[in-house]
């Protein structure tokens, strides 16, 4: 199964910013608009603080309320025949609220987050877990086993490595595929195979993120192609910030040849977002594409027509 889809952002920030669970519609009509692009998967970014309902998050937007909203969203997406990727997008250590992407997930809360998520969805076979959005500023040893992080924004904290997060998921009995993004904002997968923690379910997926301003060069593509010989590979975020599709078009053709999944960033018509800032695939929630989004949509349409033919 090759996943071809979009990231539906909003669930990582609306709750923490105190105005709801979603940024834009989350009804069946909005899902039909996404389906019109011939997608089969949606990546759903999550906020650790909101999911756990801790550190002063407004009660109506955190804890049980947040989990219920996500459950309803997942159910609607799956009812439409779409696969869902639940992604730990924003995290924060100690008593801080998750307001952005830190170098690695925190040992204070991230393992508890994944035990909770995995326990709730362990019987859902149309779902994957993306263990952490974009590791950065750390080496592969820290990526695998965790380390002490010194970060100017959130301070010093103990990071949980991928092995600990994977153990948290598997401790619940959940056997879904897990996505593990590489280092350098999920751009570098050179050390992925050498540092991959053992998985009793044998269901690990290599993940990378790539944009025209963070391009996947020859070395990057060689690493991904090498991994693809033994493990599934998914480009969890693919985008272009110049209002064009000159970067994503050849990348998607390359991914087609290697069976690599691709999910565009992002299906979000957030005020002020456009093909340059975000970047956003759409101008509105009817699915009108931006200049960058048009290239992504048209490629998915071509693949769908090829399958139908």
- Please, how many CA atoms are within 13 Å of residue 262, restricted to the half-sphere of its CB? 24
Report yes or no: 175 and 201 within 8 Å, Cβ to Cβ. yes
Instruction: Kindly list the structural domains of the chain, giving each domain's residue range(s) and its CATH number in brackets, ordered by start.
Output: 4-308 (3.20.20.80)
Note the pLDDT of residue 45: 98
pTM over 0.85: yes
Note the pLDDT of residue 274: 81
Q: What is the mean pLDDT of each run of 10 residues along the chain (309 residues)?
A: 96 97 97 98 98 98 98 98 98 98 98 98 98 98 98 96 98 98 98 98 98 96 98 98 96 98 95 81 95 96 92
- Cα–Cα distances in angstroms (integers) from residue 102 to residues 96, 98, 186, 262, 281, in the given order: 12, 9, 13, 24, 25
Supply the Cα-derived Rg of the chain in whole angstroms: 18
């Amino acid at each position: 199964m090759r996943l071809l889809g979009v990231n539906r952002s909003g669930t990582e920030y609306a709750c923490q910013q105190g105005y709801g669970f979603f940024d834009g519609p989350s009804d069946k009509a909005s899902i039909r608009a996404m389906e019109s692009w011939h997608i089969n998967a949606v990546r759903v970014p999550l906020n650790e603080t909101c999911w756990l309902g801790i550190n002063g998050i407004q009660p109506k937007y955190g804890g049980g309320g947040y989990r219920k909203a996500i459950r309803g969203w997942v159910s609607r997406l799956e009812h439409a025949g779409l696969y869902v990727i639940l992604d730990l997008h924003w995290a924060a250590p100690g008593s801080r609220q998750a307001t952005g992407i830190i170098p690695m997930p925190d040992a204070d809360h991230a393992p508890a987050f994944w035990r909770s998520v995995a326990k709730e969805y362990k019987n859902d076979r149309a779902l994957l877990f993306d263990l952490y959005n974009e590791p950065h500023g750390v080496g592969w040893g820290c990526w695998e086993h965790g380390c002490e992080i010194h970060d100017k924004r959130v301070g010093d904290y103990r990071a949980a490595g991928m092995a600990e997060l994977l153990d948290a998921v598997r401790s619940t009995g959940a056997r879904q595929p897990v996505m593990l993004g590489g280092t350098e904002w999920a751009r570098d997968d050179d050390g992925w195979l050498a540092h991959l923690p053992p998985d009793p379910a044998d269901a690990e997926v290599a993940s990378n993120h790539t944009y025209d301003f963070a391009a996947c060069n020859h070395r990057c593509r060689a690493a991904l192609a090498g991994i693809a010989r033994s493990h599934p590979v998914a480009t969890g975020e693919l985008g272009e910030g110049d209002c064009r599709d000159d970067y994503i078009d050849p990348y998607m053709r390359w991914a087609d040849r290697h069976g690599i999944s691709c999910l565009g960033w992002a299906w979000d018509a957030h005020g002020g977002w456009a093909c340059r800032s975000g970047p956003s695939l759409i101008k509105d929630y009817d699915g009108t594409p931006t200049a960058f989004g048009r290239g992504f949509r048209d490629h998915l349409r071509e693949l769908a027509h090829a399958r139908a033919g």
